[in-house]
Amino acid sequence: MKDKTDILIIGGGVTGCFAARELSRYDLDITLVEKEPSLCTGTTKANTALIHAGFNADPDKLKGRLNMRGNQLYHERIQHELDVPIEWLGALVVAKEEEKLPKLEELLEKGQENGVPDLEIVKGDDIYDLEPHLADDAIAALHAPTAGIVNPFELTVALANNAAMNGADVYLEAGVEDIEDKGETKLVKTAKGDIEADIVINAAGLYADKIANMVGIDKFEITPRRGEYYLYDKQADIDVQTTVFPVPTKITKGIVVTPTDEGNVLIGPNAEVIESVENKSTTREGLDEVLNGAQKTIPELSKRNVIREFAGLRPAITETGDFLIEASDEVPGFINVAGIQSPGLASAPAIAEKVVGIVEEEIGGLKEDPDFDPNYEGPPKFRHMSHEEQAKLVEEDENYGQIICRCESVTKGEILEAIREPVGARTVNDIKRRVRPGSGRCQGGFCEPKVVNILSEELGIPENEVVLESEESKLLRERTKEPLLNEEEVSDNE
Amino acid sequence: MNKQEYELVVVGGGPAGLAAAQEAYDQGVRDILILERDFELGGILQQCIHNGFGLHYFGEELTGPEYAQQFMENVRERGVDIKLDTMVLEVTPEKDVYAINSDDGMLYIDAEAVILAMGCRERTREAIDIPGTRPAGVYSAGTAQRYVNMEQWIPGEKVVILGSGDIGLIMARRMHLEGAEVEAVLEIMPFSGGLVRNIVQCLDDFDIPLRMQQTVTEIHGKDRLEAVTVAEVDENMQPIPGTEYKIECDTLLLSVGLIPENELSKDAGVKMHDVTGGPIVNEGRETNIEGIFACGNVLHVHDLVDWVTEESLVAGKTAANYLQGGIDKREQEIEVNPGENVGYIVPQKITNDVEDRKLVDLYMRCKKPMEHVTINLYSGDKKLLDKNERRVEPGEMITFPVPEQMISDDMDSLKVDIVKEGE
């Protein structure tokens, strides 16, 4: 690991990676450290994957302003620059009772105040034109056509790789153990070695308060809020066209039903304050709450064709209920980007923009890097190609003729690309997030042993060193008992 | 794109595809291609290194690879074309087959007939909805079997097995023999879904406990599995509060059922049966799409490979007849319906008029175990045939041969029920 950098970003989630990528536009030395063997293992890994339109958050909060701006940046720049699935499906907030109508009006006004374009309240058949399989007792809905969905895994990986292409260094398994404030610089002690940085950006998500504590900042506390989800098989034949919300209550936005970029249906989350930032366990009660909630808007949902259940943690600052994005008064050169709960993913480009502004102020001006390339292309997606395109791809590289994951039609070529990218995949789950083997209905039953083989070969490690997710999550223990005779001896004996 | 033409394309080179191809050849079809996604023929039998295969068909006990070997040699001797490491991406209703491999690239095969023999996959943790964390150490039993028998890696040391289907039972013994501690096999039902002989030979012989009407209700462990919570269940298979206990383990193997793998079939427009999860077929194993046949575990999950072979020979023969000038149809289609205590029957209908046929075999599964039963075959209210069995189990397939001469022209449906002897 290098020992000096201009800017050190702590955390390889969407917030940290977005900041790294936006800062790599400038003539700066950028370094990002992540404690896990893979990017995208915290809040970014398990959420609803939405680019909210921006009608939900209070205009007087940071959340309200940044959500709207983030959505705009996705439309204007991100979707053109990065090869990441983004779809503008629109969102519906569905009211089923007369007494919910004022709340719908309130959302409309709030959205308009935030600057959300094209919001309207639709009634009667117009609702069902937008969402044919909605519960039949809907009376009105707020329609937000600028709402979208994004693949948060591919987005984060694209950002990190794009930052790396533009000179940033990304270190995995480099958890921050301590930070020494040396005045002009900070000495950051990581599991991969010590590094001295002029500016430290704390984008540590669920661990942001602990990182801040290392330099003596204790003005905020992260409270993890858990949300649980069910994900359905692509072939489940559930017709959902938009992102469907119930009318929110004071406590929660309610259970969302939404398509994913790959054509699955995702339902969730509930919201439960929990104690441990490690507790990503699903629960019987939580999952039941999610399904019951989802059925209120899309009644045809059941447990049939569920292929995955998972829980994610949102790093909330309960006191303010808002993002905290600021240079510390107490510790110069230390920037907190904390409390990035919903709508964090939607706001991420705007958060990065704000962070760049803060860095500019701290340093006193930024010089653009003339060589910055905003474009990134990920591994090809065999599954989305026509047979003609597939034929061409395998002609160029025979690894695209080997299907590893039969449910999602993922080729060996795509897996090799994911491993060989500038910030390459190192774990079974990382490969799954990037190029999807194991994301289908068999959940890796057939392809996991093959992915383990490929990782072992590419990384030059034995198969029992290959991990699922964290460093300690090894999949295999030891070799089976040796045969009494090896193959040569058997043929000798014959 | 590499365009080819074949009379018959067989999708899958496991026991079903091999037997079907062999029989089609023996009936005179010469232009046959088997497409296999793995690096060798034989399908799942290659990882089933235990014995117990072939008692019905060969009259002797073989291991899985030995059983497969017989058919692999047969198709090779006959000169059937085989492509390995080849994945079929699409079968169209017009019987165009798109497949890909590293040597040929994309293959576009214009086939006159297609036999679907893709087998099945295992149900997952999600299919049975177990909450908890998502650590390493939770495997389907078949995946664990592949790791141990093919890749030569032991996935864990302290094992709990959920589900007493055959793969679960076999893996209990396998893990035990490799030195792992098998804490228990748990079964949510009051009876096992596996063969009786496997319970005796895989569990009883090694003192591995089989706990009935219990299931896993939570998975614990952050990185690697640390424990599972187990609870007793009531008659509706719901956990009984207060009965929970924890078992420490680093490995959970799931043997919770198999699902026929019909994504290709559905895309080809083949109609599926709700209960079997496989195509609806006639007695020749032909689907609703003329010239597309299905056999083996893609059609319905079998207990013994011997029945897969028998069924695939039927499919191979009918495919040959189809290619050689067509199949005569009966004037009246006969529906075959399950009655009391019958889960399903394959074939779902009898439609063909075949001259030299002596028997039509009905394959079925009972819903619940029963002792001293009579299996009755009815046409309308009229009983045609019965046979007595000492015991029936949902885990064991029942074959019921119906003599051709009993099937008359005016019939429109058959029904089978399983009742207590003497009722």
User: What is the DSSP annotation of B292-352?
Assistant: EEE-GGGTS--S-HHHHHHHHHHHHHHHHHHHTT--PEEEEEEEEEE-TTEEEEESSEEEE
Tokens read off for B173: 């013994």
CA-CA distance, A7 to A72, in Å (whole number)?
27
A158 plus A72 within the same structural domain? yes
A490 touches chain B (CB under 8 A): no
DSSP letter at B201?
I
Last residue of a domain, one of A293, A311, A329: A311
Query: pLDDT tens-digit profile of A326-370?
Result: 999 999 999 999 999 999 999 999 999 999 999 999 999 999 999
- Chain-chain contact of A394 with B156 (C-beta, under 8 angstroms): no
Domain check: are A307 and A278 in the same one?
yes
Chain B residues inside the 8 Å CB shell of A303: 129
Residue scoring higher pLDDT (A484 or A254)? A254
pLDDT at A494 over 60: no
Looking at A311, A335, A359, which one is the last position of a domain? Answer: A311
Question: Would an 8 Å CB–CB cutoff place A403 in contact with chain B?
Answer: yes
Query: What is d(CA A222, CA A224) in angstroms, rounded to the nearest whole number?
Result: 6
Subunit contact B140:A406, Cβ cutoff 8 A? no
pLDDT of residue B410: 87
Q: Are A315 and A206 within 8 A, CB to CB?
A: yes
Q: Is residue A53 part of a domain?
A: yes
Three-class SS of residue A376? strand
Partners of A180 in the β-ladder: A187
The angle formed by the CA atoms of residues A313, A319 and A323, to the nearest 5 degrees, is: 60
Give, as one character, the DSSP assignment of residue A421. S
- CA dihedral sign of residues B379, B382, B388, B389: positive
Beta-carbon separation of A469 and B132 below 8 A: no
What angle, 0 to 180 degrees and rounded to 10, lies between the N-to-C axes of helices A412-420 and A448-459? 40
In this structure, the answer to whether residues A55 and A166 fall within a common structural domain is yes
Residues A18 and A56 reside in one and the same domain? yes
* CA distance linking residue A207 with residue B196, whole number of Å: 53
Q: Are residues A431 and A303 located together in one domain of the fold?
A: no
Q: What's the whole-model pTM score?
A: 0.95
Q: How far apart are CA A96 and CA A12, in angstroms?
A: 41
pLDDT of A371-396, one tens digit each? Answer: 999 999 999 999 999 999 999 999 99
DSSP 8-class letter at B151: S
Q: How many residues are recorded in chain A?
A: 494
Question: What's the gap in Å between the CA of A462 and the closest CA on chain B?
Answer: 11
The β-bridge relationship of strands A30-33 and A4-10 is parallel
The domain boundary residue, chosen from A264, A286, A311: A311
Cβ of A443 within 8 Å of Cβ of B125? The answer is: yes
Chain A hits for B266, Cβ within 8 Å: 235
Upper half-sphere CA count for residue B210 (Cβ side, 13 Å): 27
Judge whether A441 and A262 are in contact, CB under 8 Å.
no
The CATH number of the domain holding residue A261 is 3.30.9.10
Helix, strand, coil content of chain B in percent (nearest 5): 25, 40, 40
Q: Which of B106, B143, B148 sits opposite A448 (nearest CB)?
A: B143
Contact indicator for A123, A69 with CB cutoff of 8 Å: no
pLDDT in tens, A446-487: 999 999 999 999 999 999 999 999 999 999 999 998 776 666
Contact list, B179 vs chain A (CB under 8 Å): 481
Taking the mean position of all CA atoms in its chain, how far away is CA A88?
17
Place of tokens 């394309």: B9
**What tokens were used for B335?**
């529906």
Residue showing tokens 């014959």:
A494
According to the model, what pLDDT value does residue B178 have?
95
What local confidence, expressed as pLDDT, does residue B213 receive?
97
Q: Rounded to a whole number, what is the distance in Å from the CA of B158 to chain A's nearest CA?
A: 11
Q: Does residue A425 have a pLDDT over 90?
A: yes
Mean pLDDT over residues A423-446, rounded? 96
Q: How far apart are CA A112 and CA A101, in angstroms?
A: 17
Q: In this predicted structure, what is the pLDDT of residue A491?
A: 61
B142 CB neighbours in chain A (<8 A) are 445
User: Rounded distance, CA A340 to CA A325, Å?
Assistant: 9
What digits encode the pLDDT tens for the residues A264-287?
999 999 999 999 999 999 999 999
The partner residue sitting opposite B126, judged by closest CB among A307, A395, A399, is A307
User: Do both A265 and A190 map to the same domain?
Assistant: no
Model pLDDT for residues A219-228, shown as the tens digit of each residue = 999 999 999 9
Average pLDDT over residues A291-318: 96
Q: How far is A231 from chain B (nearest CA, A)?
A: 10
Residue A372 within a domain: yes
C-alpha of A151 from chain center: 7
- Angle CA(A24)–CA(A30)–CA(A36) in degrees, nearest 5? 110
A437 lies in which domain range? 382-465
Give B374: exposed, middle or buried? Use CB within 10 Å, 0-12, 13-18, 19+.
Answer: middle
Name the domain count of chain A.
Answer: 3
The mean pLDDT of chain A is: 95
Task: Provide the annotated active-site residues of A.
Answer: 52
Contacts of B178 (CB under 8 A, 6+ apart): A480, A481, B148, B154
Q: Which of A303, A402, A444 comes nearest B102 by C-beta?
A: A402
Residue B267's nearest CA partner among B12, B119, B92 is B92
pLDDT band for position A493 (cuts 50, 70, 90): low
Residue A208 has which token pair?
A: 């942001």
Nearest CA to CA, how far is B127 from chain A (Å)? 7
Chain A residues inside the 8 Å CB shell of B155: 475-477
Yes or no, beta carbons of A473 and B135 under 8 Å apart: yes
Residues A237 and A218 occupy one common structural domain: no
Minimal-distance CA residue of chain B relative to A391:
B106
Separation CA B250–CA B181 (nearest Å) = 10
Q: What are phi and psi of A366, to 5 degrees?
A: -125, 145
Contact B90 A387 (CB under 8 A): yes
Buried b (16+ CB within 10 A) or exposed e, A193-218: eebbbbbbbbbbbbbbbebbebbebe
Which alpha helices (DSSP H) does B8-97 contain, by range? 15-26, 64-77
Contact A473 B148 (CB under 8 A): no
Find, in chain B, the residue whose alpha carbon is nearest to that of A427: B136
Whole-angstrom distance, CA of residue A245 vs CA of residue A163: 35
Size of interface A-B (CB pairs under 8 A): 142
Q: Are A449 and B224 in contact (CB < 8 Å)?
A: no
**Which amino acid is present at A2?**
K
Q: Which residues sit opposite A32 in a β-bridge?
A: A9, A170
Verify whether the Cβ–Cβ distance A399 to B263 is below 8 Å: no
Same domain, A118 and A229: yes
Best B39, B157, B223, B237 residue to mutate vs chain A (most A CBs within 10 Å): B223
**Nearest residue, CB atoms, A477 vs list B121, B135, B155:** B155
- Residue A481, in any domain of the structure: no
Would the CB atoms of B134 and A310 count as touching at under 8 Å? yes
Q: What is the CATH number of the domain that holds A451?
A: 1.10.10
Best of A388, A406, A450, A453 to disrupt the B interface (most B CBs within 10 Å) is: A406
Cα–Cα distance, A190 to B243 (Å, whole number): 46
Both A416 and A430 in a single domain?
A: yes
Q: Chain centroid to CA A485: how far?
A: 50
As a whole number of angstroms, the distance between CA A439 and CA B286 comes to 32
Looking at the structure, tell me whether residues A38 and A176 fall in a common domain.
yes
And the tokens for B247?
A: 């078992």
Of the candidates A234, A165, A176, the residue with the CA atom closest to the CA atom of residue A201: A176
In a domain, A472, yes or no: no
Confidence at A492, pLDDT banded by 50, 70, 90: low
User: Cβ of B383: how many Cβ atoms within 10 Å?
Assistant: 11
Which structure tokens are listed for A462? 């034995």
Domain CATH for A188: 3.50.50.60
Residues A333 and A217 in one domain: yes
A237 touches chain B (CB under 8 A): no
* CA–CA distance, B167 with B175 (Å, rounded to integer): 12
- In the block, residue with structure tokens 């398990």: A46
User: Phi and psi for B304 in degrees, rounded to 5?
Assistant: -120, 140
Are both A284 and A332 inside the same structural domain?
no
Q: What's the pLDDT at B385?
A: 94
Question: Are A406 and B37 inside 8 Å of each other by CB?
Answer: yes
- Return the pLDDT at A57: 84
Distance of CA B103 to the CA centre of its chain: 31
- Which 3-state string (H, E, C) describes A30-89? EEEECCCCCCCCCHHHCCCCEECCCCCCCCCCHHHHHHHHHHHHHHHHHHHHECCCEECC
On the question of a cis peptide bond just before residue A269, with omega within 30 degrees of 0, the verdict is yes
A window 370-389, beta carbon within 8 A of B:
387-388
Q: Do A475 and B136 touch (CB under 8 A)?
A: yes
Query: Is A14 inside any structural domain?
Result: yes
Residues of B in contact with A286 (CB under 8 A): 131
Strands A193-202 vs A186-190: parallel, antiparallel or unpaired: antiparallel
> Smallest CA–CA separation between A309 and chain B, in Å?
7
pLDDT value at residue A305: 93
Q: Which residues of A touch B154 (CB under 8 A)?
A: 476-480
Least Cα separation, residue B354 to chain A (angstroms): 38
Contact at CB, B131 and A283, closer than 8 angstroms: yes
Q: What is the 3-state secondary structure (H, E, C) of A103-115?
A: HHHHHHHHHHHHC
Q: Is B10 in contact with B35 (CB distance < 8 Å)?
A: yes
Distance CA A35, CA A176 (A): 7
B124 interaction partners in chain A (CB closer than 8 Å) = 307, 441-443, 445
Q: Which residue of A has its CA nearest to B84?
A: A402
What is the rounded CA–CA span in Å between residue A121 and residue A279? 39
Chain B contact set for A443 (CB, 8 A): 124-126
> Domain for residue A473, yes or no?
no
Q: Do B135 and A284 touch (CB under 8 A)?
A: no
| A274: in domain | yes
Contact predicate B69/B53, CB 8 Å: no
Q: Which residues make Cβ contacts (< 8 Å) with residue A37, sequence separation at least 6?
A: A172, A173, A426, A427, A430, A467, A469, A470, A471
Taking the Cβ of residue A401 and every Cβ of chain B, the question of whether any pair is shorter than 8 Å is answered with yes
The single-letter code of the amino acid at B399 is T
Token pair 């879904």: residue: B193
Counted residue by residue, chain B has a size of 423
The list of chain B residues with pLDDT below 50 reads none
Chain B residues near residue A478 by CB distance under 8 angstroms:
153-154
Q: What is the enclosing helix (H) or strand (E) of A226? A: strand A223-232
- Which residue ranges form the domains of chain B, and what is each CATH number? 1-121+258-327 (3.50.50.60), 124-256 (3.50.50.60), 334-423 (2.60.40)
Chain-chain contact of B222 with A303 (C-beta, under 8 angstroms): no
DSSP string, B122-148: E--TGGGT--B---BTEEEHHHHHIII
The verdict on a CB contact (< 8 Å) between B125 and A303 is no
Q: Are B283 and B346 in contact (CB under 8 A)?
A: no
User: Distance from first CA to last CA of chain B, Å, rounded?
Assistant: 63
**Residue A475, in any domain of the structure:** no
Measured between CB atoms, does A467 come within 8 Å of chain B?
yes
